[in-house]
Structure 1
């Protein structure tokens, strides 16, 4: 890694951490979108694993009733982690251009969901038994193919009508499971080398610094305004990645 890429990685994770600090999400999405334009998506996903897992464990542990949340979501979590591991070959051994285009499509879908003017329809509790595992399996396939875990995980959790603190905790818990599955698969495939593991660990420093800046800025910036412009930026970035993938 030359000095130019080190500077790019530091700026990327500072920005990604800042976004997460202001609106509570977006670190892996921003990091994958920006790094995916500079290095192969599989390497970009490997680089963001450590900062993503650590920050999401923090987010998961800070919420109330973690045990009850695990008991409610475990079928979804099990399928999400397993299918991420099984589908990771799409990212590590597949066509890099298709992976880039898939990442762009995931970013656009994420932005479209974030810009949705109305809340998600409520899912009746009696349907969680089949909808949770289905959402988990689909999320695992998308994560294994693109390194981004938002689709369709976020819409499913949004449909449960969870209070804000529980929603944030559920997202942190779910993202932790998918990223651990991806890390396991990358280690087995030889993608997660010692050098890349150390680089990923070092990326936690700018990510945490960015989160601290974002937490401070939250008091001065309207989170809703920032969220809106963030998703508009994702739309543009996703379109650029799709163009590069098929160009």
Structure 2
């Protein structure tokens, strides 16, 4: 049983790390989606959280924009941390069985937004107050599912950051969000010694996948890879939500 779990974790984080290496994001989203098929989202998040923090910290300091990002996105980050704290019981409370349903729906929404050509812009003068609201919404969703891409990702794309700045901004934002989630997991007693070995396996697999993804990034078209990745997320999200509903009502 343990061996099969470690094999699943290795495969999930190799794929998630590879996608992060190619696209600059996606590790918690992919890993949570794959692990939640076989375990409760709270248990999956306890395995995901440490690799997510460390890979995001690495991404945070890989670029020259850190000061500007903090000054520009602090309302988003503060709002997210507050939203996560206010909804800290969602993964372990009476509504916990529905977390996989929400996660599946979130993966589908995330993929559809990514595949669509719809784009919107946020004026520089409105970034702060809109960012705070988006942060609160992102925090509430993240506390329920462990995923922080909706609606934060569309917001960061809408404020018009340059490509390299956006990649670093994602690292900064996801670091803040995952640290806040780690605090929730610690207070709920989910981060224990039992998660040390799975977390270590996930860490090694994540960095291995990231290095492979970075190595092949220049040999493939990221836009084509991203399209097929998002299509796969739709099917994974549908399967995850449907199987969770069958368990709840079955």
In the alignment, structure 2 segments of 5+ residues that lack a partner are none
In the alignment, structure 1 segments of 5+ residues that lack a partner are none
1:102 is matched with 102
Determine if the alignment matches structure 1 residue 151 to structure 2 residue 150: yes
1:56-75 map, 5 Å: 56-75=56-75
2:50 is matched with 50
Report the CA distance between 1:125 and its aligned residue. Answer: 1.3
1:168-179 map, 5 Å: 168-179=167-178
| Structure 1 residues 67 and 198: alpha-carbon distance in aligned structure 2, compared to 1, 3 A threshold | farther
> TM-score, normalized by length of structure 2?
0.95
Q: Secondary structure at the match of 1:34?
A: helix
- CA distance in structure 1 between the aligned counterparts of 2:147 and 2:14, rounded to whole angstroms: 18
CA RMSD of superposed structures (Å): 1.3
Deviations 1:64-114 (A, max 9, x none): 221121111112111111211221311122434311100001101110121
- CA distance in structure 1 between the aligned counterparts of 2:99 and 2:19, rounded to whole angstroms: 24
> TM-score, normalized by length of structure 1?
0.96
Alpha carbons 1:92, 1:191 under 8 Å: kept: no
2:217 is matched with 218
4+ residue segments displaced more than 4 Å: none
Q: Secondary structure at the match of 2:90?
A: helix
- CA distance in structure 1 between the aligned counterparts of 2:78 and 2:197, rounded to whole angstroms: 28
- CA distance in structure 2 between the aligned counterparts of 1:197 and 1:149, rounded to whole angstroms: 23
> How many pairs does the alignment contain?
246
Report the CA distance between 1:52 and its aligned residue. Answer: 0.6
